[in-house]
A and B are shown apart, each in its own frame.
Chain A
């Protein structure tokens, strides 16, 4: 299934850094997010868009992850040549990620 089936997401921007939240609709799916939506997968998903490091922060109390992606906005919102200079639409791209419905470690 697609990540979109179990999580919602929002993108924010500061300078040349984009952050994307991934929030489980249901707390029971948070372990799936932890297991499969890794920094490495997010970085690979955004190959060609994100040039820098991707760091993941975990928020178990609200069943959410926060990805902070460095050098992701074409030099920064005020500098970028991109149509979507803020990267507002990146969250929708991330929800297209394929998710297995069982934990890979089980």
Chain B
């Protein structure tokens, strides 16, 4: 039976660079996938593209490509990535230019475009899934709308001979499903195998999260050598059989436990994991260790694909102003609480216009609120944090300023004040009839 090996070279935009090089070097892989596009990233990238028409793709594209292109070209490893963000074509041109610069003269780079469905969305009145409202009600706050594309255009690009395929918004598992379909020619209505292929993609898409990252809990769940965490390899057979493993000698661990945690990561109903290509069913999945750092995952199934595509809508959501300051030693908690009360009163007295405010003591209740952490012992040090959402920059600035004035106006011993303001790009979702998104593939070659 034919099998392929797919490496996962990044689990988010800022992920470590060298584990992907290790995979290309000694992972014995035929495909290398980089998943680098978060929910909000594409909206921020769209803003970058508006400022610079040649920009709008992942800021680490060049560094990652320079690190892996020579090895991948030499070994014939195909690269698939969503680093195109808001501008896949510019990212493809940039990649071809890098290839030329390092002496690779016949690299074929494909851009998958058509995930940008802003125009289609603007003309519609689609309801927003997260809150009551429609797209049109966002008015001129609307920045971007990108549909989660499926595997088909990526398969087409690979079939057309692409060495590197660069997409914008695509479903993360589809980045992995596409190479599997490219290798084995699975029909796009073989729901069961597409479900198992989606399972492979889902386990691999967050890279180190299945090889021991986001997992260690000393003396309960120990993981060796996290500073040299190896990224995962999926070994997939033509029949859909799947083994998760990693490069020999790398840090981390692939165990039944790491695979189970990643199986349910960001999953709601395990029997209905909605994807552009299939509704995958993970409810009967079995996970077994068959060797050191080798785990067999079977039983992924699926049903007919949805008639709609999920669309991420980016919109301007005002500003967030924030301030922090620390207290320590005996009575730290009482001084922190007093400081919080002072800021609360000051924001009222001075009439700071905030739509929402949040008052935390880091080290006490900032993560889970006062109910969950009520029993905790008094800490040696606490850090006050006040954050608020405002309509404009000026009001946001006033929040951090009020915290900072605690230096000379607040309780004893306040130190390390910090303040910050940021404009907020938020993301919501709508469901778009799938025929309104029209994916296309464009090729760019590094030939001079």
Contacts and interface: CB of A to CB of B under 8 A. Distances in A.
Interface of A: 4, 8-10, 12-17, 19, 21, 23, 25, 45-49, 57, 59, 61-62, 64, 66, 68, 74-79, 81-84, 88-90, 93, 96
30 contacts: A4-B220, A8-B257, A10-B215, A12-B267, A23-B261, A48-B370, A57-B270, A59-B270, A59-B283, A59-B285, A61-B299, A62-B286, A64-B264, A66-B267, A68-B269, A74-B358, A76-B426, A76-B427, A77-B427, A78-B40, A79-B424, A79-B426, A81-B320, A81-B388, A83-B360, A83-B362, A83-B385, A84-B366, A89-B367, A93-B372
Nearest to A44: B371
Interface string B164-203: 0000000000000000000000000000000000000000
B435 interface: no
A53 B270 CA distance: 17
Contacts of A23: 257, 260-261, 264
Interface of B: 39-40, 129-131, 214-215, 217, 220-221, 257, 260-271, 282-287, 299, 317, 320, 356-358, 360, 362, 366-372, 385, 387-389, 424-429
Given A77-B427, A78-B39, 8 more contacts: A9-B261, A61-B285, A62-B260, A78-B425, A79-B424, A83-B366, A84-B367, A96-B372
B264 A66 contact: yes
Contacts of B370: 48
B218 to A, nearest CB: 12
A61 B367 CA distance: 32
B270 A66 contact: yes
Contact of B263 (A14, A62, A83): A62
Contact of A78 (B282, B389, B427): B427
A9 B372 CA distance: 17
Contacts of B269: 57, 68
